[in-house]
Chains A and B, each alone.
Chain A
């Protein structure tokens, strides 16, 4: 066991956490009678032999099944519980987002709770005074800030909790699934602020089941299984490893199986979304064409590059993903910038969606592509046809005669047939 890394933001050596499972409720009398019969309590290692170093500015994803020890690991990192074994060192101000609105007092107003919460997270009164307006604005609670938080919705709760946490300018931000709550627009804002926090040199640890978060926000990821870290490496590789672990190859996230991440070759950026008439828009009619202005900048010569696009619904479900992998660009010269427009028709029910554009490259490995960059997602509100439900608008027609519908259906088949020599 090498020694602890004093320069790391987070350093763990041989860390283990053992819980005592009380088969009998611990009580005054049972404690006295069982004093000499401790063997009745079974021990359980929730985390065992974890070695980990996270350097300042790095963002680490932690994935694993329920009960793999992820949350226990996070609890130890924020100091709530101590490891039973090994050594753990965390440098700097830690802001945990483990429970939302922790320390919020129901009877107190949002404003009063900001002071309580921020003090616990290590801010002085003067520092809070300075940031108060910014916290309220971030949480979008201007008109509710003097209302007792017991009248808040769960979304408002999360927004306030998150707003306080990000404004403590933490050196280490610990996030546990908290972003599953709140609407998509706020989640996007959270991601933006986490990127900003990361850009300022803070260390972030995410514990999440949402593998898209790991892919878009983490530099590195570990996979936990049965209390130990079984993989430590690039996020995509970690996700693949996790899927191998689950032995699930065909679920919605398995597209990662075909991508290897490589940075430094080229970058992609997605501009403001445009409606059919070329004006910038944040909402679109489901029938209209949406234009995605994409800028690709090659830092090195990019051979066989192509774009991919993905649309996710508010709850994180992948609605649609496609790419131009059949028609890659032969070469984008180093130092040049290429502007492309992706056209998309969002035939979807009414709702908020996120649109992501990724830059990929064909690779020599069969069935594998290289992911070069992902542009930050853009949010679009789709105004769909009324009464349409589900995740896609398949534009059903309700024709008058079944026979007429049948002849129409046969036409594409005939066309396809005529193309074959």
Chain B
């Protein structure tokens, strides 16, 4: 059975506007709101899992395609939807108990679902202006959520995030205006056709530069990363998990990949830009993370480093395709597919284990009341489940077989070596070592060592917070199975094909 595409956006959006009503009914209303919000995220997860491997186009209001808004589900969007809905369901369940320490819980739930609606909308929209609208819905909700605690640091981080985020959005909007002026269309496929017909000119080149800067700001790639280490730690833990786990990937990487590959068509210059941005983010993020003593800040810097792997994989694939040009033989295509596969696989892995790490940090913070590594220690016996989940996630992110992170890094290294970029493979392995150091530091200072005097009374978190941790930890172990041929052909391969086909894919949608 195929579900109409607007339903994906409508589930979180409608629920988001229903929830504030419950807020005025006291305690029972609050419980009902929490239940409804959880039902919405689980429902979204179910239909996203159900629609894996499908592809279809929906014309909103029956307007034919170049005129109206259209929603497109294809391999790449269904992969992103899967990541978004898994992380959202886990974070929402985790928030049930965790958000008790804040007031105005229905407002939090409502903003969470609005952000989710924006994320789902971005992955599904088939024209660039609609993409901008959903991007703004998700961004504005996330600005408000970062400042949700209303303390000194939260407000400051939220303001910083909002200023840089708004500038990024305006770059994107300016780029959209330039593209519309040059091609006369807002539909991605029709823009791709127009650009393929006329070739690039100065206006379109400037628009592409604006898109890279704007989406780069949203993805926190290294020259544009200043907001992330403040914003992600300041948000409540479930929101940090959403922000680091999926928001920067959907608003940044997915949108950038879609525009660069399917609309403008990849060129050697753009391929190099992506590779360099990716390498910079990997190295700088890893170095900055090692020096941090605030647990969530360390995780945030590590997100920058990991997002670099994703951009590197996608950029490397694009670079190989662009360098081969018209003489693209099957061998080059295999290398390019492998690099992009590594990037996308790392993306979905990172969504799972980084959200798990942020949730465990929330669990630790709630139990101990601090985020400073030096004030913790010896929690291994007091919080066994949290400790186990954190260890699994750390093993994944470092890349210890058989956990998921190992496979995606292995694929990236193989692709780089095969294509002859030995130095890139060396950097990937080197950054992995840096990652190992930072997560050994986390294990050492949080869970091992002596239990400080103050923390003698620490207890394990309540059950509803542990369920999402265990769920995500199981996924970390099982994700390697996505490489089994039958799973790979259904989930990862269609997403890779969308990117490797590039503009040709967009053309095929019109006909």
A binds B: no
